[in-house]
Chain A
Amino acid sequence: MTGVAFAHWSDEIYVEGTVEMGSCTLTFDWREPPTCLEFHEEYPGGPLARGELCGKDVGYTECWYEDVIEDPHTEKWGYETMVVEIHNAYPCYRVHCIFVVRNIGTIPITIMGYTATDPDGMLTWDPDLEALVDDEGNPVIHIWHTNLVGEQIDPCNTEKAEFDFHIAQDAEECHTYRFEIELVYNQWEHLD
């Protein structure tokens, strides 16, 4: 009885698995450099008009992309960082920076949001005011976005968006303010 219990035929079948992961890479698009346009209010609270008040050329802004990154899957490349430099600014100065982000990965992504920080520690981000504020909570630099948060971008697709920067009354003369905006994106459909 014991011999019957141990003697038996045996064989196997197999499942061979390969999981090839995709990639999740959003970049600033090299095909279209960023542009910065100055605006001013025609009258307080009124519509925006191009340029600065009275047609003067006082402040100016430069912007460009840097820090090349490449998606290992698609071998497409783009930039990880957009640099914005605003010179000789003053309260009321307003500039809109228009840029294009491209999904160079293989997975759709969703732009979840952004936070701004001051590397020098002078300003803090107030999400309610949408502004970097000083230590008394007064807005110094308003940062608004258009066509950005919540947008879903499929692989190879682009989204044209903009950040609007507005210098508020409490900005101090002759200061240099620095900020970093971290634009967070997730694999698509994770809106929680």
Chain B
Amino acid sequence: MRKAMGMLVSLMVALSMTGVAVAHWSDEIYVEGTVEMGSVTVGWYSVECWEDDEPCGKDVGSIDCWLEDEETDVHTEKTIYKTLVIVISNVYPCWMGHVEAAINNAGTIPVDLVDIIIDGEMPPEDEVNIWVDCDWPDYPQLDPCNTAIIRADIHVKQDAPECTTYEFSVTLVFNQWGCEMA
């Protein structure tokens, strides 16, 4: 009988110890978070091109330009174009054309122009001289809603070969601002 009582007491002590180890109060408080991401959307906004008067009032050479690949920023609902196409036809030494295009940051995050990649065959300078000028106050940075103007004067020179076609593309690479350090 005494042995049985001893076992019972031991069991109760063990249970009570186990109970102390497991039983405890617990609760939670919360942090609710929302992260609304911005957008990086840069593109051509407008373009205009024209040529200088040709000799004797003739219309021989021509320059045409337009914007393609429309894209609308989801946040700002502004529309820009990813591609600017310039086609110059039937030109000759002395011909001179001009292009004026606007790049717009239609997103919500500032961007930096970090690279210019040229694919294809650019005409040699002694054949076709392309002089580029920018109206870009914080170059190479472009804040949201801001616009940079790029002007190009294209002059066909004496050494330009006849019946030659130059095809090339220029890619402007923009990064979220400040990341050029990375």
User: Chain A: residues with CB nearer than 8 A to chain B?
Assistant: 24-28, 40, 43-44, 53-54, 56, 58-59, 80-92, 97, 101, 107, 112, 114, 141, 163, 165, 167, 171-187, 190
Distance to closest chain A CB from B148 (angstroms): 17
**Does chain A have a CB within 8 A of B120?**
no
**Does chain A have a CB within 8 A of B24?**
yes
Give the docked Cα–Cα distance between A25 and B28 (Å). Answer: 9
CB distance B32 to A58 under 8 Å? Answer: no
CB distance B28 to A184 under 8 Å? Answer: yes
Known contacts A81-B30, A91-B179, then 4 further A-B pairs from the complex at CB < 8 Å, ordered by chain A residue: A53-B178, A54-B177, A91-B176, A173-B37
Give the docked Cα–Cα distance between A164 and B101 (Å). Answer: 43
Main secondary structure of the interface of A (DSSP, over half): strand
Q: Which of A92, A172, A173 counts the most B-chain CB atoms under 10 A from its CB?
A: A173
CB distance B31 to A82 under 8 Å? Answer: yes
Contacts of A165 in B (CB 8 A): 33, 35
**Does chain A have a CB within 8 A of B164?**
no
Picked from B35, B37, B178, the residue with its CB within 8 Å of the CB of A92 is B178
What residue of chain B has the Cβ atom nearest to residue A42's Cβ?
B181
Distance to closest chain A CB from B43 (angstroms): 14
Picked from B27, B73, B181, the residue with its CB within 8 Å of the CB of A44 is B181
Give the docked Cα–Cα distance between A43 and B108 (Å). Answer: 23
Distance to closest chain A CB from B72 (angstroms): 11
Give the docked Cα–Cα distance between A82 and B40 (Å). Answer: 30
CB distance A173 to B40 under 8 Å? Answer: yes
Contacts of A25 in B (CB 8 A): 27
CB distance B177 to A82 under 8 Å? Answer: no
Interface string of B167-182 (1 = CB under 8 A from A): 0000000001111011
Q: Which of B29, B75, B107, B179 counts the most A-chain CB atoms under 10 A from its CB?
A: B29
Q: What's the tally of chain B residues with a CB closer than 8 Å to chain A?
A: 33
Give the docked Cα–Cα distance between A117 and B182 (Å). Answer: 30
CB distance A84 to B176 under 8 Å? Answer: no
Interchain residue pairs with CB less than 8 A apart (23): A27-B29, A44-B181, A54-B141, A58-B109, A80-B30, A81-B30, A83-B31, A83-B33, A88-B36, A89-B36, A89-B37, A89-B38, A90-B176, A97-B31, A174-B38, A174-B73, A176-B34, A177-B36, A180-B32, A182-B30, A183-B28, A185-B27, A190-B26
Distance to closest chain A CB from B167 (angstroms): 32
Name B97-138 residues within 8 Å CB distance of A: 107-110
**Does chain A have a CB within 8 A of B25?**
yes
What residue of chain A has the Cβ atom nearest to residue B32's Cβ?
A83
What residue of chain A has the Cβ atom nearest to residue B30's Cβ?
A81
**Does chain A have a CB within 8 A of B83?**
no
Picked from A28, A85, A88, A92, the residue with its CB within 8 Å of the CB of B34 is A85
